[in-house]
Structures are given as structure tokens and as C-alpha cells.
């Protein structure tokens, strides 16, 4: 099995993007390539907020260079190729080639631990403070176009006018997706993943599924 060109790792600070957040979020059923983000769900977001075991955390300006340096030092110690990074107040992006020596999940855990340790050594966070959300996004990059896109996203689309454009684009995509799902519901069609035939009733659908996908529905 060929090694990936890189891992694209993203993780958030504690409490910054709970499931159901209107900006988009992922869970175990929505974290693979090609799947959409979770829909906005204020009930789920509020429920998970009530389960939090500490306050929402953000990296203040004094913490950013420490976190940045921690990422570089860890890569140097592990002989990992650091391709791109961007430490923000609410999340961190890293594009890294671990040279086949680590899984993306383990690499992300080590980045989190090193930054946490260095922030505590600097006296900027308390020992009991929760800094990071559990897990994060671990994407494999297997082709040059994907690598180029990840570098551009991390290096150029995280602040300023580009970030505003990106957020507007995401909001428009969510609106279109919601409109499409509403239309599917109005037509009695499934929203996710199941094949349907317009004009087909439930009896026809069951017959098609049990007798083969190539069977045509009955003529009305």
C-alpha cells in the first residue's frame, strides 16, 4: 500500500464547534470524504453544551507563537515533513508527511499533547484546563491536487477577505442543501443515499428492493 503524500489534520479548541453548530460540524457518520456536514441542530448543540466539563477555550495571542513553535519542534524531533500549518484562536490546521511512521490520529494526538505541555510550561494555562475538543479531522491526501488544495486552504483562506469569501460560500452551500432536502421531502423522496423512482409507491419500492434494482415499477 502506497504511503499518502500527507495528512491534513484539523482540531478545535474545547467547546468551539459542538455537534449541530450552524457553521457545520462532523461526527462519526459524517467524517469521511464525500459525506456532508451535520445540519444545524440547536437542540443537539445546546445538549452537548450542557455536557461540557469546563469553559469554552480559545488561544489568546500570547499562546499562538508557543503553539506554532511546538508544532515545528515536534516535526523536527520525529523527522516529519511539515508542509503547512496555521494556528488560529479557535482551531489548528496542520499538513504533514509523517514518512510512514505514524497514523494521522496518533500524529494529531502528539501535536495536541506537545502544545498543551508547552503552554503549561509557559504558565499560560492551568493544569486542569481543557484545551482541545476530543479527536478532530484526519484526512489522507493521496494526490497532488489534494495537497495543493490543502496548502492553499491552510495558508491563504484562514483570515481576512479570503476567509469572508469562504464563509459566504459555505453558507450558500448549506442553504442550497437545505432547499434540496426540503424539495425531496415534498416529493416523498429520501434525503440520503437510497434510490427512489418518482411515482413509485411504498409497495413498489419494497418490490424493487427485494426482487432486484433493475425491475421496473408496475404501470399505473
Q: What is the SS3 string spanning 48-86?
A: HHHHCCCCCCCCCHHHHHHHHHHHHHHHHHHCCEEEEEE
pLDDT of the residue at 201: 61
Domain boundary among 135, 156, 177: 156
**Helices and strands counted in the chain (H then E):** 6, 4
Among 27-31, 49-53, 54-58, 80-84, whose mean pLDDT is lowest?
Answer: 27-31
Q: Higher pLDDT residue, 213 or 27?
A: 27
- Does the structure show a pLDDT above 50 at 219? no
Q: What is the mean pLDDT of the chain?
A: 78
Nearest to 17 by CA among 36, 33, 34, 40: 40
CB half-sphere exposure, 204, CA atoms < 13 A:
14
Query: Where do runs of H (alpha helix) occur along 7-63?
Result: 42-51
Count of domains in the chain? 2
| Cα–Cα distance for residue pair 26/20, rounded to 1 Å | 9
Opening angle at CA 202, ends 196 and 203, nearest 5:
115
Domain containing residue 101: 6-16+56-156
Does residue 187 sit in the same domain as residue 141?
Answer: no
151-169 pLDDT, tens digit each: 988 988 676 666 667 667 6
Among 39-43, 91-95, 135-139, whose mean pLDDT is lowest?
Answer: 39-43
Residue 32 lies in a domain: no
Does residue 139 sit in the same domain as residue 185?
Answer: no
Q: How confident is the model at residue 185 (pLDDT cuts 50, 70, 90)?
A: confident
Does residue 89 sit in the same domain as residue 109?
Answer: yes
| Cα–Cα distance for residue pair 1/106, rounded to 1 Å | 19
Distance of CA 57 to the CA centre of its chain: 18
pLDDT of the residue at 70: 97
Residue 100 lies in a domain: yes
pTM above 0.75, yes or no: no
74 and 108 Cβ atoms separated by less than 8 Å:
no
Does residue 112 sit in the same domain as residue 195?
Answer: no
**Residues, the chain:** 220
Average pLDDT over residues 115-132: 94
- Does the structure show a pLDDT above 70 at 52? no
Residue 147 maps to which CATH number?
A: 3.30.70.1290
| Cα–Cα distance for residue pair 23/174, rounded to 1 Å | 9
Backbone dihedral region for residue 103 (phi beyond 0: left; psi -120 to 50: alpha; all else: beta): beta
26 and 37 Cβ atoms separated by less than 8 Å:
yes
pLDDT of the residue at 2: 73
Query: Per DSSP, what are the bridge partners of residue 50?
Result: none
Does residue 142 sit in the same domain as residue 176?
Answer: no
- Does the structure show a pLDDT above 80 at 205? no
Does residue 124 sit in the same domain as residue 204?
Answer: no
Does residue 80 sit in the same domain as residue 119?
Answer: yes
Sole residue written with cell 460560500: 169
- Does the structure show a pLDDT above 50 at 34? no
Amino acid at each position: 500500500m502506497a504511503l499518502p503524500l500527507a495528512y491534513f489534520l484539523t482540531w478545535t479548541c474545547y467547546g468551539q464547534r459542538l455537534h449541530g453548530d450552524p457553521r457545520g460540524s462532523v461526527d462519526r457518520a459524517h467524517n469521511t470524504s464525500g459525506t456532508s456536514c451535520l445540519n444545524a441542530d440547536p437542540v443537539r448543540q445546546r445538549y452537548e453544551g450542557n455536557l461540557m466539563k469546563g469553559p469554552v477555550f480559545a488561544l489568546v495571542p500570547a499562546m499562538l507563537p508557543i503553539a506554532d513553535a511546538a508544532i515545528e519542534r515536534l516535526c523536527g524531533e520525529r523527522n516529519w515533513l511539515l508542509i503547512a500549518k496555521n494556528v488560529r484562536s479557535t482551531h489548528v490546521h496542520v499538513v504533514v508527511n509523517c514518512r510512514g511512521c505514524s497514523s494521522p490520529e496518533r500524529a494529531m494526538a502528539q501535536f495536541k499533547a506537545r502544545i498543551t505541555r508547552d503552554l503549561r510550561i509557559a504558565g499560560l494555562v492551568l493544569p486542569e484546563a481543557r484545551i482541545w475538543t476530543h479527536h478532530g479531522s484526519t484526512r489522507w491526501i493521496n494526490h497532488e491536487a489534494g495537497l495543493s488544495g490543502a496548502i492553499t486552504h491552510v495558508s491563504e483562506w484562514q483570515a481576512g477577505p479570503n476567509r469572508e469569501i469562504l464563509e459566504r460560500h459555505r453558507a450558500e452551500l448549506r442553504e442550497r442543501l437545505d432547499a434540496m432536502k426540503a424539495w425531496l421531502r415534498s416529493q416523498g423522496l429520501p434525503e440520503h443515499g437510497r434510490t427512489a423512482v418518482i411515482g413509485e409507491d411504498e409497495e413498489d419500492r419494497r418490490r424493487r428492493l427485494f426482487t432486484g434494482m433493475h425491475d421496473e415499477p408496475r404501470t399505473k
